[in-house]
Structure 1
Amino acid sequence: MKPTTKRRANKTGRSSGRFVMLPEWLQKSDAWASLKPGPRALYVELKRRFDGTNNGGIFLSHRDAAAALNVNKDTVAGWFADLQERGFITLTQGGHLGPSGIGMAAKWALQEEGLDGKAPAKGFMAWRGKQNPVPKTRTPRPKFPDTL
C-alpha cells in the first residue's frame, strides 16, 4: 500500500499536482502534425515518467506502455518506432535480461530535453515527411469528358 502524502493547497484552495507540459513549438512541428493519436498518447506517457533529471533513463517497457494505454503490446511497438523515426525519442539502452534472469525494461531519452549536460537534440524539428511529387509526364485529365 502506498503511503499517502497530503498536498498543500495553493492560495485558491486547490492542490497543485503534477502535469505534463507539451510546448507550443513542439506541437507546431511537422513531425507532431504527422503523428496519429496513438503515438501522441505514448509520448505523453513517456513524458509523464520524466521527472526533470532522469532523461536517458526513462523506463518504459512495451508491456507497461500497452497496459497504461489500454492497447496490445504489438500495437505499442509500432508507436515506439514512429516516435523514434520522427526524432521525438531515442533508445539509450535496449530491454534485456538482467544478471539474475529478470527482464529489464528499455531506457528512453526525450529529444526535447537535454541529455548528459548537452543541449536538446530536437531531431523532430528537422523531420520532413516523405514527399511523393506528381510526375510531370502524366497524361492530363480531359477538360470535357465524352458524353453519349
Structure 2
Amino acid sequence: MSRKHNATGRSTGDGHFIQMHEWFFKSHAWQAASVYEQALYLAIKRRYNGRNNGDIPMSHREAEQLLNCSNRPIAKAFAGLEEKGFIKPVTKGSFDWKVAKQGKNHGRSTRWELTELPPDLPQRVLGGGTKEFMSWKPKEKSAVCPEHTSGTLSAYHEKSMVCSEHTMKAGVYAHGTR
C-alpha cells in the first residue's frame, strides 16, 4: 500500500498518533483502572487534537458505541476516571441545550479535560497538566475488627461492609449500632 505525500514530502495520512508515556502506565491509578476505564480514556484521548484540551466532547451514548458495550460499565468508567483524576468535566452535557448564544448548533455532550495535559481553553497554558491521577491512592482496606467477630480473620473488607453473624446478633455493625 502506498502512502500519499504532500509537496514537502510529509505523509498526508489519515490521522495522528496518541502518545502514552511509561510513567503514565506505571501510575497506581492506571494500574487500578478497569479495562473499561482504560479503553474509555484512550477513546477520549483520541479526540484530543493538540488544541482542544478542556473542550473534548464525549457523551455516554458515544462511548457506548465506541466501546461496544452497555451504559452501566460506561457510567462506572466515567465515574472511575473522574475519581482517579484522569479527566475533569469542564462543561456538563444536557439534553436541554437547544441553540448556543451565537445562534450556532452546539453539541450536547459533556466537554472533558485530560489532566495529563495542560489545558488549552479558555486560554492555552504552556506548563504541564495537573496530573491529579499521580497522587491517587487506592482505598485502604482494613481487616475485620477482632472484637466484633467470632473466629479467625480470613479476608479483608472495607469497614462499611463489615458484618458477621456474631455482630448481627449483637446488633453491632462497623458503622455503628443498629
- TM range, smaller chain: 0.7 to 0.9
5+ residue gaps in structure 2?
Answer: 100-104, 154-178
Q: Aligned pair 1:31/2:23, yes or no? A: no
* 78 and 20 in structure 1: CA distance in 2 versus 1, 3 angstrom threshold: same
Question: For the Cα contact (< 8 Å) 1:8–1:16, is it kept in 2?
Answer: no
Aligned position for 1:113: 117
Measure how far apart 1:73 and its partner are.
2.5
5+ residue gaps in structure 1?
Answer: 1-5, 142-148
Aligned positions of 1:1-148 closer than 5 A: 7-8=4-5, 17-96=15-94, 97-100=96-99, 104-115=108-119, 116-117=124-125, 118-134=127-143, 137=146
* 69 and 8 in structure 1: CA distance in 2 versus 1, 3 angstrom threshold: same
* 90 and 102 in structure 1: CA distance in 2 versus 1, 3 angstrom threshold: closer
- Mapped to 2, the partners of 1:103 and 1:47 lie a distance apart of 18
SS in 2 for 1:105: coil
Q: Over alpha carbons, which structure has the higher Rg?
A: 2
Measure how far apart 1:137 and its partner are.
4.6
- Mapped to 1, the partners of 2:16 and 2:89 lie a distance apart of 25
Question: For the Cα contact (< 8 Å) 1:55–1:108, is it kept in 2?
Answer: yes
Q: Deviations over 1:26-55 (max 9, x none)?
A: 100000000111110000000000001100
Name the TM-score, length of structure 2 as normaliser. Answer: 0.65
AA partner of residue 35 (structure 2): P
Identity %: 32
AA partner of residue 134 (structure 2): M
Consecutive aligned runs of 4 or more in structure 1 exceeding 6 Å deviation: none
Q: Deviations over 1:76-123 (max 9, x none)?
A: 111000000000000001002223498611000000000141531100
Measure how far apart 1:130 and its partner are.
0.6
- Mapped to 1, the partners of 2:72 and 2:152 lie a distance apart of 43
Name the TM-score, length of structure 1 as normaliser. Answer: 0.78
RMSD between superposed Cα atoms in Å: 3.0
SS in 1 for 2:112: strand
AA partner of residue 58 (structure 2): L
SS in 2 for 1:56: coil
